[in-house]
Amino acid sequence: MGRAILWFAGTAMGSLAFQLTVALWPEKLKNYAWAVKYLWWGWALCLLLWVVTHEKIFGARFKRWRDRKRFTNQKRTDLVNVSFKPSEGPSDKQFLAVTNNDEKQTFYATCELLDRRNDPNQLNKKTYDLAWVRDSAREVTLATGESCSLIIATGENSRSTHFSEVKLQGFSNGSVGKVEWSGWDEYDKKDKPQYDLRISVFGENGEKTECFTLKCGGSPSALEMVKIDCNENTAGHAKQELRETDPQVYVEIEERRGATPAKTVFVLQNHGGGIARRVQIEPLGLLSGTAVFDLIDHIGEKETGEVTPTIEQLGVFFNNHIGYLLQKEWNATAGDLVDEFVRPMRIEYENYAGRRFETAFNIVFHAVGYTLRENARRTWPWHQKRIFEVRDTKVRPLS
C-alpha cells in the first residue's frame, strides 16, 4: 500500500509541477522542444521498469536471484545454523520443520530427487524450490529460535478403488503443486514406492543440506520420512548393471476379437540370456477399476508367455479387455479430446539365482480411435489402426 501511495503522489506532483512550469515560462521552454520526445521515452522506460519489478511479476524472482548470487559468492566457512526435523510417524502429509538457531534472516529451500524405487516410472532427476507452510511462500524470515515447516509430500487414497498415491509438492510453473507422483494398489503386497531426497536450506549466512528417504505404504496413503547419509550412494542402494546372461522381458499388447467376448492379451517375450521366473505384471489401478494379471511361472530364453487381464469391476463380456477400462478412465479424467491416453506399467521377475528385475513401460491407448471404431466398426478407417502401443520400455535389475 505504501509503495502505491508514493507512486501516485509522485506522479501527481510531477505532473502538476510540469504544467506550472509550462504556464510560467513558455518562451524559455520552447528552446528545449527537441528534448520532449526523450523525456517521454524516459518516462515510458521508468514506468515499464516499475511494472515489471512488481513483486507479483518479476520483483520477487529478481530479489531471489540477487540473494542467491550473493549467497553463492560468499566464502562459507560455516554452515547456516539451522536444524531439521521431519514429521513424526506415518501420516498422509509430510513436512520438514526448520528451526533457525542463528541470527534473524530470510531462508529459501530446494529439493533434489536422488533416487526412486519400487515404481514403474524411471527417475527424473531434477531440483525444485520447496514451499513453506507460512503462506505457501518460497521464502520465509525466521527470528532466532523460530521454526517453520517445508511442505514435502501429501498422500491420498480412494476408498472405492483402494488406489493410493503420493504427490511430491513444490513450485512448478510459478505456483505450488505436484512435481512428481507415484501410485499403488492398497492390497498389493509388494514393496511400495520410495524416494531419496536431498533438501537444502539457504540463508544469508550460508546453507545446510541433509538427505531423507520418503517411504510410502503402511496404512493407506501413509507416508514416512527418515534421515539418510548423503555421502552414501543414495542410502546404500548400489546401481546394478544388466548382464547378457540376465533375463530381459519385453511386452506387446494384442487385441483378439475373433472370440466372443473380445479380449486383450499381453505377450511377454524374453530377449535375454536366462530364464525369467515368477513373471508378474503389476495391477493397473485406475479410478474406474483395477486390471490384475495372473503370475507366469517362467519364460525361457527367447521364448514367449501370454497373460490376459481381469477387471472385476466390469461385466463378464468386458472383464478381459483392458480397452473398456482405459476408455472409462479417459472419459472420466482426460478433460481434453486427446487420442493418446498414457499410463505407466511395470513387470517384475527373477532369475534362478533369485536376482530380481524390472521392466517398466508406458501403455498408450488410442482413445479417440477406439471410440470411433466401436461406433462404426466396419465403415470407419480407424478400425485398421492399432489401438494399443507400448513405449519407453526400460529393463533394469532391482538387486
Residue scoring higher pLDDT (274 or 260): 274
For residue 183, pLDDT over 60 is answered with: yes
Mean pLDDT of 259-273: 85
Please, which residues bridge with residue 182 across strands? 166
CB 337 within 8 A of CB 368: yes
282 and 120 in contact (C-beta within 8 Å)?
yes
pLDDT (mean) for 59-72: 50
Q: Give 160: exposed, middle or buried? Use CB within 10 Å, 0-12, 13-18, 19+.
A: exposed
Tell me how crowded residue 315 is: count the other CB atoms within 10 A of its CB. 9
Is residue 143 over pLDDT 80? Answer: yes
Q: How many CA atoms lie within 13 A of 292 on its CB side?
A: 10
Q: What is the pLDDT of residue 268?
A: 96
- Specify the length of the chain in residues: 399
Does residue 24 carry a pLDDT above 90? no
**What does the pLDDT average to over 52-65?**
54
| Those residues with Cβ within 8 angstroms of residue 170's Cβ, 6 or more apart along the chain or in another chain | 111, 128, 129, 130, 131, 151, 176, 177, 179
Rg (alpha carbons) of the chain, rounded to whole number = 30
Three-state DSSP at 32 gives helix
- For residue 299, which of 357, 247, 373, 355 has the smallest C-alpha distance? 247
Tell whether the model's pLDDT for residue 308 goes beyond 60: yes
- Whole-model pTM: value is 0.45
Q: Give the model's confidence band at 383: pLDDT under 50 very low, under 70 low, under 90 confident, else very high.
A: very low
- Name the more confident of 77 and 138: 138
- pLDDT score of 58 more than 60: no
Mean pLDDT of 158-175: 83
* pLDDT score recorded for residue 73: 46
Q: Does position 305 have pLDDT exceeding 90, yes or no?
A: yes
> 322-333 vs 367-375: helix axis angle to the nearest 10?
110
What pLDDT score does 262 carry?
78
Q: Which residues contact 288 (CB under 8 A, 6 or more apart)?
A: 161, 313, 325, 328, 329, 332
For 82-228, the fitting CATH number among 3.40.50, 2.60.40, 3.30.70, 3.40.1710 is 2.60.40
6 Rama sector, left if φ>0, alpha if ψ -120 to 50, beta otherwise: alpha
In this predicted structure, the answer to whether residue 70 has a pLDDT above a threshold of 50 is no
Extract the C-alpha cell encoding 76: 562459507
What does the mean pLDDT of the chain come to? 79
Residue 230: what pLDDT? 79
pLDDT surpasses 60 at 236: no
Q: What is the structure's pLDDT at 29?
A: 63
Flag whether pLDDT at 320 surpasses 70: yes
E strand residue ranges, 87-193: 93-100, 105-117, 127-129, 131-132, 139-142, 147-158, 163-172, 175-185
Handedness of CA 55, 58, 61, 63 (dihedral sign): negative
Q: What is the DSSP letter of 15?
A: H
pLDDT at 263 > cutoff 70: yes
- pLDDT band per the 50, 70, 90 thresholds, residue 352: confident
pLDDT-derived band at 294 (thresholds 50, 70, 90) equals very high
Give the model's pLDDT for residue 75: 40
